[in-house]
Amino acid sequence: MKIKDIIEFTESFAPHNLAMEFDNVGLLIGSENNEVKKAVVALDITDEVIDEAIGNSAQLIISHHPVIFNALKNIPSNSIVYRLIQNNLNALCLHTNLDLSPEFGVNTCLAEAVGVKNAEFVEGECLYIGEIENELTNKEFAENVKAALKCDGLRYTMPDKKIKQVAICSGSGGDLAPLAEENGADVLLTGEIKHHDILNANKLGIAIIDAGHFKTEDIIITPFTDKLSAKFPEVEFIRSEKCNDGIKYM
């Protein structure tokens, strides 16, 4: 089994041309012709995930966040890139192309998890808008989100606002509140929002739920692992147990 077969499959639902211009996606380390028998699937490639891959004798790590994003001017011996090369680990990264996939992606998995149905992407944007079955207050919807994503905590505004139309942007999407409001959403569910964007959303009258960057994106890792396993039973795909953001709430 070669890595190029896995790439061909992921291209069928999250092709390169869906990625945003600033992004860096695809096989960032290694060769498409390399053989793979085991692969670790994780949101990020960290030292802990590399150790996990080594411990499982994996040849490939598939991640959401690119292991190479900005131009590299040097590769220190303690860097993630160096360690991947040193340990003959290939790295396949699907970022905004997986965010924007209308068939199977981060936002579609997030919507399904929190009960948002009939959703569509706003053209040219990483904003996914649908509706919940029954109208809720934003506090009630936030409680559902917290349970669905297994959040230790989250931030939300306008607890009494009635919610029916939901805009979703996994990860960092707080600056999309104006676009969400323009498209008729009652709330923006995202994973990261700045203070001034919260104030702007308040002014626009759109509620916010900030469930954390990691939690709004890690929701895809289990179904992604299952999807790959079903397609390629001859390869062992391992859902990372070591990938986390280290954030604690008190």
Tens-binned pLDDT, residue by residue, of the chain (250 aa):
999 999 999 999 999 999 999 999 999 999 999 999 999 999 999 999 999 999 999 999 999 999 999 999 999 999 999 999 999 999 999 999 999 999 999 999 999 999 999 999 998 789 999 999 999 999 999 999 999 999 999 999 999 999 999 999 999 999 999 999 999 999 999 999 999 999 999 999 999 999 999 999 999 999 999 999 999 999 999 999 999 999 999 8
Give the model confidence (pLDDT) of 98-144 as tens digits. Answer: 999 999 999 999 999 999 999 999 987 899 999 999 999 999 999 99
Distance (Å, whole) CA 69 – CA 211: 24
| CA atoms within 13 Å, Cβ hemisphere of 36 | 32
Q: What is the CA radius of gyration of the chain?
A: 19
**H or E element, residue 48:** helix 47-55
Give Cα separations from 204 to 179, 185, 194 (angstroms): 11, 11, 15
CA dihedral 161, 194, 172, 209 (to 10 degrees): -20
At 123 the pLDDT is 86
Angle between helices 138-149 and 106-114 in degrees, nearest 10: 120
Distance (Å, whole) CA 83 – CA 77: 7
Note whether 97 and 19 are within 8 A (CB): yes
